[in-house]
Amino acid sequence: MTEWLLSLEGTDAGRQVAMGLALMAAFLHALFGALQKGRHDPWLSRAAIDAAYATMAAPFALLVVPWPEPHMWPIFAGAFVIHTAYKVAQAMTYSRGAYGVVYPVVRGTGPFFAVIGAGLIFGEHFTAGQWAGVAVLMTGIFGLAAYNLRTVTADRETMVPALVWAVVTGAFVALYTTYDAYGIRATADPFTFLAWFFLIDGIAMPVYMWRRWRRLPASEAVLLLKRGGIGALVAYASFGSILLATRIGRVGEAAVLRETSVVFAALIAWAVLGERVGPRRLGLMALIAAGAVTVKLAG
């Protein structure tokens, strides 16, 4: 598997596989966000997910994949700091705002800065047509957030700070997308980065939330454990897909396509969380999809 992936780096076939991985990551990331925004406190949900995926990653990191090269430890330390800050900002966002409003803002802020970061760090440059696609996609994303803001009734009193935190979270999305792409390209075996990333990244939130976890009724703790296990599997598939996409393909393109997660999030909000989807929202989702297709075809 590793040899096959490495053989795709820098090839047209690799770019196509990377695009498929980015779209898969989009759907799974929307599902991951819905899991964290469900009935439980987002802080506890995130801690349960992190504890589950760190536990699952430990045997692979310690016994299966090649040991990280010495230069990787500072990179892992940087990823730990960035992702911990991102998760704090994300929990602050989800605990204050309706999912259908704040999620598009989080995802809409990221692609613009991620594309710029990919240009500065990896020398990737979008064509004029691709930048037009980014503009269309972001217009659809922020339009969807604005429409949801007009119609949503939940969390109205905390919506302003929720939106501020959503923008901060989006900035961290761009930062970790670029940084993780650098990290997974810095090691010989991409699965070494993935295994150790999930092990190290899963430490902070469970430790921070331990005292609150202990005070939960047993029935609630069991439900959270189940949610954590499901969320861990989704996280592996989602974050693993986008990280591999940035290893074998172009970082900017993968980052933009991943933000079609907003379309999937709207569908999940309708199907699972009971939020209404009308013709205007469908039109905005079509605009997002059109922007993503433009980025792909104009490259």
Helix, strand, coil share (%) of the chain residues, nearest 5: 85, 0, 15
Model pTM? Answer: 0.81
CA–CA separation, 19 vs 285, rounded Å? 19
- How much is the average pLDDT of 145-152? 73
Measure Cα distances from 73 to 61, 67, 69, 157, 197 in Å.
13, 11, 8, 43, 10
Backbone angles phi, psi at 116, to 5 degrees: -65, -45
- What residue type is assigned to position 130 of the chain? Q
Closest CA to 36 of 276, 237, 265: 265
Q: 209 by DSSP, 3-state: which?
A: coil
% of the chain surpassing 90 pLDDT: 21
Q: How far is CA 41 from CA 99, 126, 148, in A?
A: 13, 40, 22
**CA geometry: angle 207, 208, 212, nearest 5 deg:** 100
**pLDDT (average), residues 273-289:** 73
Residue partners of 1: CB distance under 8 A and separation at least 6: 191
- Phi/psi at 195 (5° precision): -65, -45
pLDDT at 37: 59
Distance CA 91, CA 172 (A): 13
* Range with top average pLDDT, 55-59, 168-172, 279-283, 291-295: 55-59
Q: What is the DSSP letter of 259?
A: T
- What H or E segment, with its residue span, contains residue 74? helix 72-94
> Would you place residue 51 in the very low, low, confident or very high pLDDT band (cuts 50, 70, 90)?
very high
Rounded Cα distance between 276 and 270, Å, is 6
What is the predicted pLDDT for the residue at 192?
94
Name the residue range of residue 37's domain. Answer: 2-297
> To which residue do tokens 């960035």 refer?
82
Q: How many residues does the chain have?
A: 299
Q: How many domains does the chain have?
A: 1
Structural tokens at position 218: 């047993």
